[in-house]
A and B are shown apart, each in its own frame.
Chain A
Amino acid sequence: MLTKASYTLADGTPLSDLVRVPTREVQMRALSDPEIYQLEMDRVFGKTWLLLGHESEVPNSGDFVVRDMGSDSVIVARAKDGNIHVSLNVCPHRGMRISTVDAGNTQIHKCIYHGWAFKPSGEFIGAPVEKECMHGKMMPKEELGLPQARVTLYGGIIFATWDLEGPSFEEFLGDAKWYFDTLFERSDKGLEVLGPPQRLIVRANWKAAGEQSAADGYHTLTLHRWLGEVGNYSKSGDGGSADLSPEMYGVEVSSPHGHALRCIDLGRKIKKLSGLDPAELTVDQKLEALPPPGMTREMLPQLRKHLSEEQLEVMVSMPPQVGGIFPNVLFAFVYIPQADGSVLGLTLLHAYVPKGPDQLEFVNWVLAEKDAPQELKDRMLMQSIQLFGTSGMVEQDDSDTWPHMPLAAKGARGRRSTLKYQAVYETGAPAGWPGPGIVNEGFTKDDTQWHWWLYWNELMNAKA
């Protein structure tokens, strides 16, 4: 619920003035202001479900990885009962980080400072020299465990939140779940990671990456223009040209919770692969011509066990290919044209972890269907690395762009400049579109990103 002027920034600006709803503008200072950043850590990262990894990273009892929830380090560990626990990585004794490594396996997480020890579930085991009771007698052992985040697994993806009483993950996804299920809940065995994530620091505010992930279509035309010049969408690739605009048509779905999906028209690819007019083809013929990213034709029968006929229709005509889960997740389930005329699907997830007002950590997981043959996983892995993440020819341009924005947002004039989201859909959903949510068709627009900012605004101005 919005409460006007719920908070006033140090210079007297009401927090609720940062997002100007009537003209769809956002004040640039939001991309660098330390005061706004501090508020976000509680109001956004303390309230939403955050991506921490995939359960295939911690398959066995005792396996753990160390990740971040906003500005807090957490231990993501599988306990003896098989459940995954997310514990604050701060010793309740004297504040030392308990785990100082990235990953491993242990049944006892022991702080190296004074030796307090914890189970993978976060429960306090004890301190050295038990009979001398280092932890004192004022608090029972039960109260000295590591603070626990609330955890959920969705398609094996680990999400957690500090908001113990807030909306369930399902409520958080809302209508967008119908679409996300076509990516993450479509097969018998589900996805797995192909290895630990790439990690790198970008000197930019997390929102530069977060709002772009909310399905910024336009930037592709200019920032990623090379794809049409010599890349996978050039004449040798997709029968296209330097003009990437045909890829900008489709359906965009947004959500009151800031989630966004760009559902890009597959018609031209299916026509090229099958030699037939997609309008004349059944759902099964289209799936056969171009299986979803990461799936083989042999796996196609699995789809009907998990998804509805309406979901399959979307998957074969306008599948979600890129987009975001609020606040800081990007998904890419993309169909990459290959030099030999075939198509290779890639499945990736990114988290843009806030590391201060002017810094983010880019975390990139490369995924594949567990059931997929090794040969396909190997090809997906190589091409994912070549196009996305650290050295990826697509995303290296993104990570080079964002660092300019916090600098611009520090200028006395620049900070009062605005980000504009004024390209507004006037179309609505295509006739007969079977999916829920805020749906618009046609050439990409700004609506999905605007809805991302509206939810940010709602959280930032919510009553504590």
Chain B
Amino acid sequence: MSAAQQVAENAPVIGNPIPVGAEVYNRIVGFLYQEATLLDTIRLKEWGATLAPDLVYTVPLRQTRPMSQQAQSVIRTVQHYHDNYRSIMGRIMRLTETRSAWAEDPPSRTRRMVSNVQVFATDRPDEFAVVSYLLLTRSRFDFPDMDVISGERNDLLRVDGEGFKLGRREVILDQAVLGTPNLAIFL
């Protein structure tokens, strides 16, 4: 059994949608906006503090497949990211505590536009399944090309005091061949 399958087995049962504008819905949207701010302003250690220690963070590959085989268009064997809390914190350490993380030094100028937020209750009172769209623009150096990364986040947020911790994130990207030279940035 692969790590990704194990996660699926530990995942909560997803329940009813929580209406747009409900108190918890608004708090979750606020969390996503704040998270985008932390990542876009490269406050990576503060972002790290919002991650749950049992975090699973994955970005599957996509393949172009016929209409009849859409389930096979998401690849969860080899992926673009396949991380846990420890490895994400390692990535943050590389980016913040070395003088040679060149892929992001000088850093990209990014915007994470987060929209189409849907929140679902789960069978665990303190956990919410959150689906959102991500449109990430990335500009590097004086290059005229703006890299665009678009996808759907499937998150699991866990209540943590007044806020939330990210317990699970899977980002379903839209490109089968990524148009950015690496994913040295978090999605």
Judge if A399 is at the interface, Cβ distance under 8 Å.
yes
Asked if A226 and B100 sit within 8 Å, CB to CB, the answer is: yes
Asked if B64 and A101 sit within 8 Å, CB to CB, the answer is: yes
> Which residues of B sit under 8 angstroms from A365, Cβ to Cβ?
78
Judge if A366 is at the interface, Cβ distance under 8 Å.
yes
Asked if A230 and B182 sit within 8 Å, CB to CB, the answer is: no
CA distance A415 to B79 in the complex (A): 38
Expressed in whole angstroms, the minimum distance between the Cβ of B15 and any Cβ of chain A is 31
Interface residues of A in 182-205 (CB under 8 A from B): 193-204
Stretch of A327-335, A386-394, A441-449 at the chain-chain interface: A386-394
Asked if B94 and A393 sit within 8 Å, CB to CB, the answer is: yes
Number of A-B residue pairs with CB-CB distance less than 8 Å in the complex they form:
139
> Which residues of B sit under 8 angstroms from A382, Cβ to Cβ?
3, 82-83, 87
User: Provided the pairs A199-B176, A230-B97 are in contact, do residues A385 and B78 lie with their beta carbons within 8 angstroms?
Assistant: yes
CA distance A361 to B176 in the complex (A): 12
How many of chain B's residues have a CB under 8 angstroms from any CB in A? 43
Cβ-defined partner of A381 (8 Å) among B78, B90, B184 = B78
Cβ-defined partner of A102 (8 Å) among B83, B99, B176 = B176
Asked if A390 and B63 sit within 8 Å, CB to CB, the answer is: no
Interface residues of B in 55-96 (CB under 8 A from A): 59, 61, 63-66, 69, 75, 77-83, 87, 90-91, 93-94
**Minimal Cβ-Cβ distance residue in B for A197:** B78
Judge if B145 is at the interface, Cβ distance under 8 Å.
yes
Expressed in whole angstroms, the minimum distance between the Cβ of B57 and any Cβ of chain A is 10
CA distance A278 to B23 in the complex (A): 65
Judge if B177 is at the interface, Cβ distance under 8 Å.
yes
Judge if A396 is at the interface, Cβ distance under 8 Å.
yes
> Which residues of B sit under 8 angstroms from A395, Cβ to Cβ?
182
Judge if B103 is at the interface, Cβ distance under 8 Å.
yes
Judge if B21 is at the interface, Cβ distance under 8 Å.
no
Expressed in whole angstroms, the minimum distance between the Cβ of B90 and any Cβ of chain A is 8
Judge if B38 is at the interface, Cβ distance under 8 Å.
no
Judge if B101 is at the interface, Cβ distance under 8 Å.
yes
User: Provided the pairs A199-B176, A201-B178 are in contact, do residues A103 and B65 lie with their beta carbons within 8 angstroms?
Assistant: yes
Judge if B16 is at the interface, Cβ distance under 8 Å.
no
Asked if A400 and B78 sit within 8 Å, CB to CB, the answer is: no
Interface residues of B in 140-158 (CB under 8 A from A): 140-141, 143, 145
Asked if B94 and A390 sit within 8 Å, CB to CB, the answer is: no
Judge if A356 is at the interface, Cβ distance under 8 Å.
no
Cβ-defined partner of A202 (8 Å) among B63, B77, B94, B181 = B181
Expressed in whole angstroms, the minimum distance between the Cβ of B13 and any Cβ of chain A is 25
Expressed in whole angstroms, the minimum distance between the Cβ of A339 and any Cβ of chain B is 9
Asked if A230 and B98 sit within 8 Å, CB to CB, the answer is: yes
User: Provided the pairs A104-B65, A396-B182 are in contact, do residues A226 and B80 lie with their beta carbons within 8 angstroms?
Assistant: no
> Which residues of B sit under 8 angstroms from A102, Cβ to Cβ?
63-65, 176
Cβ-defined partner of A399 (8 Å) among B79, B141, B181 = B181
Asked if A226 and B98 sit within 8 Å, CB to CB, the answer is: yes
User: Provided the pairs A196-B77, A381-B78 are in contact, do residues A201 and B177 lie with their beta carbons within 8 angstroms?
Assistant: yes
Cβ-defined partner of B79 (8 Å) among A225, A362, A385 = A385
Expressed in whole angstroms, the minimum distance between the Cβ of B1 and any Cβ of chain A is 8
CA distance A201 to B145 in the complex (A): 13
Cβ-defined partner of A400 (8 Å) among B63, B64, B79, B184 = B184
Chain B positions 128 through 172: 1 when the CB is less than 8 Å from some CB of chain A, otherwise 0: 000000000000110101000000000000000000000000000
Interface residues of A in 225-280 (CB under 8 A from B): 225-226, 229-231
Asked if B80 and A198 sit within 8 Å, CB to CB, the answer is: yes
CA distance A378 to B84 in the complex (A): 13
CA distance A190 to B77 in the complex (A): 19
> Which residues of B sit under 8 angstroms from A201, Cβ to Cβ?
177-181
CA distance A102 to B62 in the complex (A): 10
Judge if A296 is at the interface, Cβ distance under 8 Å.
no
Judge if B116 is at the interface, Cβ distance under 8 Å.
no
Cβ-defined partner of A397 (8 Å) among B61, B102, B141 = B102
Asked if B177 and A199 sit within 8 Å, CB to CB, the answer is: yes
> Which residues of B sit under 8 angstroms from A378, Cβ to Cβ?
2-3
Expressed in whole angstroms, the minimum distance between the Cβ of A59 and any Cβ of chain B is 14
Interface residues of A in 153-193 (CB under 8 A from B): 193
CA distance A194 to B87 in the complex (A): 20
Expressed in whole angstroms, the minimum distance between the Cβ of A83 and any Cβ of chain B is 24
Expressed in whole angstroms, the minimum distance between the Cβ of B11 and any Cβ of chain A is 18
Judge if B183 is at the interface, Cβ distance under 8 Å.
yes
Question: Which A-B residue pairs are the 7 nearest by beta carbons?
Answer: A195-B77, A195-B78, A396-B182, A396-B103, A200-B178, A391-B183, A225-B100
14 CB contacts below 8 A, A to B, read: A101-B64, A102-B64, A103-B63, A196-B61, A201-B177, A224-B100, A225-B99, A229-B98, A229-B100, A230-B93, A362-B181, A390-B81, A395-B182, A396-B182
Chain A contacts to B: CB under 8 angstroms: 100-104, 193-204, 222-226, 229-231, 361-362, 365-366, 374, 378, 381-382, 385-386, 389-393, 395-397, 399-404
Known: A225-B99, A365-B78, A396-B184. 9 other contacts (CB 8 A): A196-B77, A223-B102, A361-B177, A386-B82, A393-B91, A396-B103, A396-B182, A399-B182, A404-B141
